[in-house]
Structure 1
Amino acid sequence: MNRLVAYLIRFAVILIGYVVAALAASAFLNIMFLASLGLMTDETQPAAQASLWFSVPFVALFVAYFAFMPAAIAILVSEIFGRRDWLFYALAGAVVAAVFLGFAYQTADANFEITDPRVVAAVVGCGMVGGIFYWLSAGRWAGSWREIGNPISPGRSGS
């Protein structure tokens, strides 16, 4: 029973971490594009800040949808191997973003241009921020479900 509870708790933590990562990636993407358009200056900041309250959760839905399968594979690998370092998650987020860009490039219509280097860098940075925020919320305890229920050996007795 302890094992089942540990699995369910870890699954809930993974879901919460994925939601946090999608929101962080969306916020980074929104701020990057607002800043590139020049809308983050002092005179336009109140309007831009108010628009972020709506656009960050809305774009997070798309980020979570398009990144789900590659992110699920990265999360599964991190859980199996028990990776708990932030660099793994940042690089995994970059790979997830690169996989998304590859799929978007392969399946896009002729008018959908995602080859601009600034857009590619923003999306890869978005993936890295999402990976780091996943690590902050759930990745630091990756593989902890395997430690529940295992007897701890006392080690050497010293005699």
Structure 2
Amino acid sequence: MNGILTFLIRSVVVLLGYAVAALCSSAFLHVVSLPMLGFTAEETPAVVIGSVVFSIPFIALFVAYFSFIPSLFAILAGEIIGLRDWLYYAIAGGVIGAVVMGYFRSATEADQSLIGEPGFMFALIGAGMCGGLGYWLIAGRSAGGWRKPREITSPEPK
């Protein structure tokens, strides 16, 4: 029973970490795109408050949707191998951002003006890296901790 409870708690922690990763990625995309919108200094606080309250969580739903399958592989690898390094999660997040960009390239055939820009590519990779670090803060630092450590036995003398 103790093993099942440990597994269930770890699953909740992983889901919470994934939610934080999606929020971090969405926040990064908002911070990167905010200067391009051309708001004045007086308008910026209202726009930022509106982004924090509504837009960041809403876009996080799309981020979580598009990055679920590649994130699943990265999370499973981290849990099975027991990778707890922040660099693994940052690089895995960048790779996930590149995979999501590949989704967009294959889905849109007609107008690829935004998708072909290097700034868009780097924004998605950076958002993935921020999401990977957000996941590491919540769940990645204790990855693989649910497994019981193997007992080391020494050979008996003859």
TM-score by length of 2: 0.89
1:118 is matched with 119
Mark the runs of 5 or more structure 1 residues left unpaired by the alignment: none
Q: Per-residue deviation at 1:152?
A: 6.1
Mark the runs of 5 or more structure 2 residues left unpaired by the alignment: none
Q: 2: CA distance between counterparts of 1:153 and 1:88?
A: 28
Q: 1: CA distance between counterparts of 2:138 and 2:145?
A: 14
2:8 is matched with 8
Matches within 5 A, 1:123-142: 123-142=124-143
2:146 is matched with 145
Q: 2: CA distance between counterparts of 1:38 and 1:123?
A: 21
Amino acid corresponding to residue 36 of structure 1 in structure 2: M
2:49 is matched with 50
Q: Per-residue deviation at 1:87?
A: 0.3
Which deviations, in whole Å up to 9, do the C-alpha atoms of 1:56-87 show, x marking residues without a partner? 00000000000000001100000011000100
Amino acid corresponding to residue 34 of structure 2 in structure 1: L
Q: Per-residue deviation at 1:109?
A: 3.0
Q: 1: CA distance between counterparts of 2:77 and 2:58?
A: 28
Which deviations, in whole Å up to 9, do the C-alpha atoms of 1:130-150 show, x marking residues without a partner? 000000011000001103xx5
Q: 1: CA distance between counterparts of 2:153 and 2:107?
A: 57
Q: 1: CA distance between counterparts of 2:48 and 2:103?
A: 32
Greater displacement, 119-128 / 101-110? 101-110
Q: Per-residue deviation at 1:153?
A: 6.5
Instruction: Count matched residues.
Output: 152
Q: 2: CA distance between counterparts of 1:133 and 1:3?
A: 27
Q: Per-residue deviation at 1:51?
A: 2.0
Task: Say what the alpha-carbon RMSD is for the aligned residues.
Answer: 1.8
Q: 2: CA distance between counterparts of 1:112 and 1:47?
A: 32
Which deviations, in whole Å up to 9, do the C-alpha atoms of 1:66-125 show, x marking residues without a partner? 000000110000001100010000000001011111121112131243010111111100
Amino acid corresponding to residue 42 of structure 2 in structure 1: E
- State the identity %: 49
Q: Per-residue deviation at 1:45?
A: 1.7
2:105 is matched with 105
Matches within 5 A, 1:7-26: 7-26=7-26
